[in-house]
Amino acid sequence: MSDIASHCYHRPPTEATKSALAAVARLAGLVAGLLVAAPVQSVLAGGSAVALEIDAKPVVFAPWQHERQTVGALEWRGGVELDGTSGDFGGYSGFVLSRDGRRLFAVSDRGTWLLADIAYEDGRLAGLSDGRIGVLTDPAGRPFSVKSMQDAEAVAAFDPDDPLARVLVGFERQPRVLDYRLGPEGPVGKPTTVRLPDAVHAGEHNRELEGIARFGPEAGPLAGAILVSSEANTDAHDNIRAWIIGGAREGELTFRRSDGYDITDIEAMDNGDVLVLERRLSALLIPSMRIRLIGRGAIAPGAIADGTILLEASGLTMTVDNMEAIAVSRAAEDGELRITVMSDDNFNPLQRTLLLQFALPGR
């Protein structure tokens, strides 16, 4: 072995190299897991909610940078890769957080819900605990019996002052919104149905309803209104259709579509500004995500809403999967605005359930 080769061989691996090796190891483990599958518990069969343990492994968003990096207009505040002890854990396409970001309620495209506490270490997201999982029910109080009715894709807090008391859940394949009351252990009672414009049911199948937000009392003319967005129900100019339901600005608008991105979720901030989470897949099926901030003045009937790109990231170089859910909260210690995103693993063992958190300075 030459001196150069010896030096290269003994040089400590960089963070990027460690990340690449971990990805290879994870893929090998997943393939092995397919060959020898462990038994799992399903809540769908019995219909009752159950407790579950959630394993959390820390992840670095940009492996070549220091942990306290700035990415776009945001600052990294930690992230984890999650796995649960139920076969129905995963597929999360929408979630809400408590005001202090310490409790989570998520919905999946199998019609299940997840309730869990969020742990932090030194102000950084570190994991989930006290998990509980169950099935969503229809207005008659019964679990959904067919896949086309289970496909929950979005969830929004009805009251921003108490986000986990009442939530609006949007479903995609059979577009509708149901209003659920939440208790300490999950949904209680029977949900009610929220009226939707007929146009929500149009467009390409399985891309009709993807995001939902409700505006709080500080949102000006949008206060009390619900905003529903499609994934890629586009108009003649290839912009993505959305609808304001209720309030002083009821009507249809579009979000400007650019660079091949589709919308996977939306979130209303206290002042009425809207965060838009977007996804794009490359020809090699490598996912990218983008977060845009759109001022509330652009959310109006007939408008083509556009805004500032806060973050754009590719799974080729950063820790990104099929990012489908976004929520906001305030850090308990200093009130810092946190933006948290979650991925839908499609119940595919080659994908991950990621929970990533960022700060938006100055808000």
**How does DSSP classify residue 306?**
-
Q: What is the CA radius of gyration of the chain?
A: 20
Task: Give the integer Cα–Cα distance in Å for 261 and 363.
Answer: 26
Task: Give the integer Cα–Cα distance in Å for 143 and 155.
Answer: 18
Would you state the pLDDT for residue 66?
62
- The model carries a pTM of 0.88
Would you state the pLDDT for residue 30?
35
CA dihedral 308, 313, 319, 323 (to 10 degrees): 60
Would you state the pLDDT for residue 47?
64
Residue 240 CB neighbours (<10 A): 27
Q: CA nearest 107: which of 172, 51, 159?
A: 172
Would you state the pLDDT for residue 335?
94
Q: Calculate ∠ Cα 66-357-53, nearest 5°.
A: 110
Positions of the chain with pLDDT lower than 50, given as ranges: 1-41
Would you state the pLDDT for residue 279?
97
DSSP track, 59-93? --SSTTS-TT-EETTEEEEEEEEEEESBTT---EE
Would you state the pLDDT for residue 201?
81
Would you state the pLDDT for residue 12?
40
Q: CA nearest 349: which of 31, 84, 98?
A: 31
**Residue-level length of the chain:** 363
Would you state the pLDDT for residue 337?
97
Would you state the pLDDT for residue 2?
34
Would you state the pLDDT for residue 147?
85
